[in-house]
Chain A
Amino acid sequence: EVELVESGGGLVQPGGSLRLSCAASGFTFSDYAMSWVRQAPGKGLEWVSAITTSGGRTYYADSVRGRFTVSRDNSMNTLFLQMNSLGAGDTAVYYCAKRSCSGSSCYSFFDYWGQGALVTVSS
């Protein structure tokens, strides 16, 4: 069974840093691109970042580019999101999400999501 478990969320002061982790199991992690998606309290979904299978290419939303860094450790089946220079606008539940593949074709839809990690930026 596919499982994604985020950790590392919490309360951080404005300007601070936090590192989220997403532990994957139940599938061959190294075969799938992964993304981070966030949801501010009471708001909609916002795609944040994506990383290719090897980690060789990374992509970011304009709102986080230059402050957030996505990475992965395929030997540990773990996805990471390093978040620096955090502001109130970054307060959200952060989900890791697995890219959907069918046979040999992959699509940038997300077929499995973690339970989310709450990040609160406040003094």
Chain B
Amino acid sequence: DIQMTQSPSSVSASVGDRVTITCQANQDISGWLAWYQQKPGKAPKLLIYAASSLQSGVPSRFSGSGSGTDFTLTISSLQPEDVATYYCQQANSIPYSFGQGTKLEIK
């Protein structure tokens, strides 16, 4: 099974800051990676798919990069509404697996 490891587990940043979250797979998953945003009490929301494709309706300040085993989610200019927990997910093989999550807070 593929294990996904996110870092950091939590991050605090100021409005306008650039924020980077990383996700590492324990084996090559090519570009089969997605990023989700989850706000408290809500369902996850797809932000990025296929490592770098922006889901329709998602603000352009969100971007993704990477391939193989190392991936990055970047928020170019943090906004107050971006407070949430972010998860990566590999779609390379079943069982699909998620990272443990990164909780993003505003300083």
A45 within 8 Å of B (CB atoms): yes
1/0 per residue, CB under 8 A from A, across B23-65: the answer is 0000000001010101000011110011000010000000000
Contact A108 B32 (CB under 8 A): yes
A109: chain B residues at CB < 8 Å are: 34, 46, 49-50, 89, 91
Report whether over half of chain A's contact residues are helix, strand or loop; otherwise say mixed.
strand
A109 to B35, CA, bound (A): 9
- Say which residue of B38, B43, B91, B95 sits within 8 Å of A107 (CB atoms): B91
Contact A108 B98 (CB under 8 A): no
Closest-CB distance, A7 to chain B (whole angstroms): 15
Contact A47 B96 (CB under 8 A): yes
Contact B43 A44 (CB under 8 A): no
How many chain B residues touch A (CB < 8 A): the figure is 23
- Say which residue of A35, A37, A44, A113 sits within 8 Å of B100 (CB atoms): A44
Chain A residue with the shortest CB-CB distance to B49: A109
Closest-CB distance, A26 to chain B (whole angstroms): 15
Closest-CB distance, B43 to chain A (whole angstroms): 4
From known contacts A108-B96, A114-B43, infer whether A44 and B49 are also in contact, taking CB-CB under 8 Å. Answer: no
Contact B43 A115 (CB under 8 A): yes
Chain A residue with the shortest CB-CB distance to B94: A59
- Say which residue of A61, A110, A113 sits within 8 Å of B95 (CB atoms): A61
Chain A residue with the shortest CB-CB distance to B34: A109
A50 within 8 Å of B (CB atoms): yes
- Say which residue of A107, A113, A115, A116 sits within 8 Å of B49 (CB atoms): A107
User: Which one of A35, A50, A109, A116 has the greatest number of beta carbons of chain B within 10 Å?
Assistant: A109
Closest-CB distance, B63 to chain A (whole angstroms): 16
Chain A residue with the shortest CB-CB distance to B48: A109
Closest-CB distance, B72 to chain A (whole angstroms): 17
Contact B98 A45 (CB under 8 A): yes
A108: chain B residues at CB < 8 Å are: 32, 91, 94, 96
A31: chain B residues at CB < 8 Å are: none
From known contacts A107-B32, A109-B49, infer whether A116 and B95 are also in contact, taking CB-CB under 8 Å. Answer: no
A68-123 CB contacts (< 8 Å) to partner B: 95, 100, 107-111, 113-116
